[in-house]
Structure 1
């Protein structure tokens, strides 16, 4: 079981950060490992929406489908794998850090059973590094606009 939480403060209003980060079409721009996203359900994003993601992690190509299970506008987004190599849940939360900044948290939990036991031991630190880089990229994109 892995449970990895990372946070960052982005100097942009919560609504701006949440809307950009929660738009699946933006994911390949700020997630290094996500190579493509395609809608399996009709936009816009709502609870029950399903999207296919193509990613690369630890040298492996991964195809999986996320189903969006919880949405609270500009506050929280939860998605879980409906199909893919291992069960995973991803949660985004956004909170005001001060009048013009946002604290974004990114949490991934799951059981990467498709990987060897040795890989499972190093999975959380590797995920944490990747997630920190992704949030730093998101910060860079949003603070440049």
Structure 2
């Protein structure tokens, strides 16, 4: 069973500010509820082929995983994916101006769990959706203050 969770929010901040901040891996622990730490495996800045290691806590477990940037259109779209572990994941950020000082950000997580993770996929999707809503609310609060 595939997992595909899409959430979005409108942030009262210009597109460039939202996209630059959200696309910066080093900022992730500040606005992602579950991310504990981030470490570059390649030299910054973000570009196709960049690799970033994350440590997160999800569903009571600590997870370590590495994302590779597979698409990057600054100010428009960022796609990163991992193929390791029992749950390969693809995360997509998109940004769209909805006025001169407002930005719609969409966060999408998709993947196809294997093994035991397949059984837990519906619960994982529900928890991802809840966490993503909190993450985007945190981002909104941070960028609007």
C-alpha distance in structure 1 between counterparts of 2:59 and 2:35, whole Å: 13
* CA RMSD in angstroms, aligned pairs only: 1.2
Contact persistence 1:3–1:107 (CA under 8 A)? yes
Cα displacement (A) at 1:84:
3.7
Q: Give 5+ residue unaligned stretches, structure 1.
A: none
After superposition, residues 1-145 of structure 1 pair within 5 angstroms as 1-113=2-114, 115-144=116-145
Q: Is the 8 A contact 2:77 2:95 kept in 1?
A: yes
In structure 1, how many angstroms separate the alpha carbons of the residues matched to 2:144 and 2:51?
Answer: 29
CA deviations on 1:38-96 (whole Å, 9 max, x unpaired) are 00001111100001000010001100000000000100000001434420000000001
Q: TM-score, normalised by structure 1?
A: 0.94
Measured in 2, the distance between the counterparts of 1:114 and 1:142 equals 39
Q: Does the 8 Å contact 2:11/2:105 carry over to 1? A: yes
- Counterpart Cα distance in 2 of 1:129 and 1:115: 22
| Deviation of 1:123 (Å) | 1.5
Deviating above 6 A after TM superposition, structure 1's stretches of 4 or more consecutive aligned residues are: none
CA distance in 1, matches of 2:95, 2:61: 31
Q: Compare 1-10 and 107-116 and name the one that shifted more.
A: 107-116
Quote how far apart the aligned CAs of 1:117 are.
4.5
Contact 1:65/1:84, CA 8 A, preserved across alignment: no
Q: Judge conservation of contact 1:64–1:83 (CA < 8 Å) in 2.
A: yes
**Structure 2: gaps (5+ residues):** none
Number of aligned residues: 144
Please report how far the alpha carbon of residue 113 of structure 1 lies from its aligned counterpart in structure 2 after TM superposition: 2.5
